[in-house]
Structure 1
Amino acid sequence: MKLNLNIQPLSSWITATKEPLLISGPCSAETEDQLVATAHLLKNTGRVTALRAGIWKPRTRPGEFEGIGSIGLEWLKRAKAETGLPTAVEVATAKHVEEALAAGVDILWVGARSTANPFTVQEIADALKGHDVPVMVKNPVNPDISLWIGAIERINNAGITKLAAIHRGFSSYEKSAFRNEPMWDIAIHLKTLAPHLPIICDPSHISGNRDLIGYVSQKALDLDMQGLMIESHIDPSVAWTDAKQQVTPAALSDLIDHLTLRKPDTNNAQVNDKLAELRNNIDKIDDLLIQKIAERMKIAEQIGTYKKENNITILQVNRWDEILNKRVNYGKALKLSPDFTEKLLELLHTESIRRQTEIMNEGQAAGQQAEKLTHV
């Protein structure tokens, strides 16, 4: 089901002189000179659409640098006056919203930690009522699309129509090359639920390492995300927060120059005809897949009936291990990734168990209902 959001297109509230749309600036505003100097260098690249800076920093542990505070808003005003760049800051409380708007900040965003708490989001939403300001909502720390959607809806219900989502990756216990796992499928799911909601990628927080920012940025653009938020510092080696994931303005410009921009569609009739032919082939295979899955489930139900009649347990671990090993190896031979094959098999197995469980419990459920009736 599509989300019922009242939103304006991105082009109505932010103007990109060049593609891709790029929001950039230091992770934290540290000093007035650092922020203003960085802003001038970013402006000179001719690439940056808006200047971002962390003013209030929600840190994991006390004692870490938690942002310069409200004085940083005055520095942002100066940077905006000298460069003409619109400004963007993160807000986590109603007071942040009030101070940022009073200082003339152009764009606000709700951070990942705030998105995870509906009480915090509602406080921010209440403070936004009556204001015509663009707001971007980062995904929550954990991979929970409902929390992300809920935060977006709360902000939209407050009357904010200039709205976008920010994909910054998700926490995971599994160690990988990324600071936060991209989990692109969640962002894609949001895009399918809200096709008109702009999604901007934050490669800095996904990567946690400047060497991966280019790769993540290209992936985001290939998935038709509307822009990028990349942290940039005049001298990342001395940054007070997240030094490893920030790039210099010059490096940022070079990174953007090496990205390939692709369009979601084309006016080339020959290309469109070929795509239509290939998509038609996929549609036929998808129909056949669903038909075969339905046939598989019918057999699973027959197995469930047979197990019930012969008092055999639903789950037989040895059989499942045999299926998993055999099919994963078969998938490998057919150039399918083991991870994909295993996830597909787990979905099929879960549905088979659900159906067999229903069959096992049919008589029991009817008996319980009859017993209830006799005691009425």
Structure 2
Amino acid sequence: TSPYSFQGLGREGLNYLVQAAKEQDLLCVTEVIDAPSLELVVDEIDIIQIGARNMQNFELLKMAGKINKPIILKRGLSATIEEWLLAAEYILSAGNPQVILCERGIRTYEPSTRNTLDLSAVGVAKELSHLPVIVDPSHAAGRRDLIASLSKAAIACGADGLLIEMHPNPAEAVSDGAQSLHPEQFIQLAGELGVVAESVKRIFACGETKDEESLESLRNQIDDIDQTIIECLAARMQIVKKVADQKRLDRVKDTAREREVLQRLINLGNELELPSELVKKIYPVIFEVAVQFQIKRKLVKEKDLDLSLISHLGSK
């Protein structure tokens, strides 16, 4: 904002950023402000960020639309959601579909925080577009004491990610120190966000997903899917009952139909990157169980019918 504040290190800073990302096996993100800065970073940075003050820099947006890299587009200081989405359209229409919207707070009359975080924009933007929406609570609050609560609220209301500032010694930071978390605060917040995400049936991944909490979340996901599979099999068997009632006993097994269904499911599995061997092993078992179930049901029904006839004849 001010020409007298820290302006970055240019090429030297880019080298540090790329080296750090490489050493930690992380993606590298940086902001561009014009054509020269875009040209400087485009071959070395994984994700390009366009800041709030450049949201309506249409020539820059068009240039960003011609590169094959994800673009984080921050909402302008006083931009409406419609203006924000139309700015994204400049990138999309130029040929780059990899746009990530970022809500970072808007300018209001409230002086208590740096900006006012508009969390309603998350839901509206996701409803009006197919684009992922992330939230920057650091720039919204401008105060580290509010970042945790705003981050939790963002995850709960559907944000797809967060931008959170952290510094080993915020008091000595050359910019944004007041809104930067200490490393231990960030670690604690990451754990708390996982709990919030799980409470609203979402998964929060912070860095590697090999820690116990993330593993537990993944296992919960698998449990939910397994339950769905069992429920679907039960629903299938209910339909099998109805099919059994419409078949003759000598026509319960339809080999041609089984072959046709199996091939269709193998093709579908291939499209979904599911090993064909898995489908070939599972479905013949399902078919056989269904056939045996139908035969048993038919025999029981015929036995009941015979007993009913005997009872009827006996009564005469």
Counterpart secondary structure, 1:109: strand
What amino acid is aligned across from residue 98 of structure 1 in structure 2? E
What amino acid is aligned across from residue 193 of structure 1 in structure 2? L
Q: Distance in 2 between matches of 1:125 and 1:239?
A: 30
Shift of 1:173: 1.8
| Gap change, CA 1:145 and 1:247, over 3 Å in 2 | same
1:1-376 aligned at under 5 Å gives the runs 59=1, 61-102=2-43, 104-115=44-55, 117=56, 120=57, 122-176=58-112, 178-194=113-129, 196-259=130-193, 260-261=196-197, 262-263=200-201
Q: Distance in 1 between matches of 2:173 and 2:64?
A: 31
Counterpart secondary structure, 1:200: strand
- Answer whether contact 1:98 1:127 (CA < 8 A) is retained: no
Q: Distance in 2 between matches of 1:168 and 1:241?
A: 17
Shift of 1:83: 1.2
Moved over 4 A (4+): 264-269
What amino acid is aligned across from residue 155 of structure 1 in structure 2? I
Counterpart secondary structure, 1:161: coil
Q: Distance in 1 between matches of 2:18 and 2:119?
A: 35
What amino acid is aligned across from residue 163 of structure 1 in structure 2? V
Residue-by-residue CA offset, 1:182-241 (whole Å, 9 max, x unaligned): 1222332212101x2111110101111111111000100111111111011121110011
Q: Distance in 2 between matches of 1:130 and 1:170?
A: 28
What amino acid is aligned across from residue 121 of structure 2 in structure 1? I
After superposition, the CA RMSD in angstroms is 2.0
Shift of 1:157: 1.2
> Whose helix fraction is larger, Structure 1's or Structure 2's?
2
Note the residue ranges of structure 2 that are not aligned, 5 or more in a row: 204-220, 229-316
Q: Distance in 1 between matches of 2:21 and 2:192?
A: 28
Q: Distance in 2 between matches of 1:145 and 1:70?
A: 34
Q: Distance in 2 between matches of 1:158 and 1:138?
A: 18
Q: Distance in 2 between matches of 1:161 and 1:218?
A: 28
What amino acid is aligned across from residue 68 of structure 1 in structure 2? L
Q: Distance in 2 between matches of 1:140 and 1:164?
A: 14
- Answer whether contact 2:122 2:157 (CA < 8 A) is retained: no
Shift of 1:264: 6.4
Residue-by-residue CA offset, 1:19-68 (whole Å, 9 max, x unaligned): xxxxxxxxxxxxxxxxxxxxxxxxxxxxxxxxxxxxxxxx2x22222222
What amino acid is aligned across from residue 145 of structure 1 in structure 2? I
Shift of 1:263: 2.0
Counterpart secondary structure, 1:221: helix
Counterpart secondary structure, 1:230: coil
Q: Distance in 1 between matches of 2:23 and 2:202?
A: 36
Q: Distance in 2 between matches of 1:238 and 1:106?
A: 28
Note the residue ranges of structure 1 that are not aligned, 5 or more in a row: 1-58, 270-376
Q: Distance in 2 between matches of 1:80 and 1:189?
A: 33
Q: Distance in 2 between matches of 1:135 and 1:144?
A: 19
Count of aligned pairs between the two proteins: 203
What amino acid is aligned across from residue 180 of structure 2 in structure 1? Q
Q: Distance in 2 between matches of 1:218 and 1:197?
A: 21
Q: Which residue of 1 aligns with 2:260?
A: none
Shift of 1:175: 2.5
Residue-by-residue CA offset, 1:233-271 (whole Å, 9 max, x unaligned): 1211100111110012222111111121122699689xx
Counterpart secondary structure, 2:102: strand
Residue-by-residue CA offset, 1:332-366 (whole Å, 9 max, x unaligned): xxxxxxxxxxxxxxxxxxxxxxxxxxxxxxxxxxx
What amino acid is aligned across from residue 206 of structure 1 in structure 2? A
Percent of aligned pairs with the same residue? 33
User: TM-score if structure 2 supplies the norm length?
Assistant: 0.60
What amino acid is aligned across from residue 61 of structure 2 in structure 1? A
Q: Distance in 2 between matches of 1:183 and 1:229?
A: 15
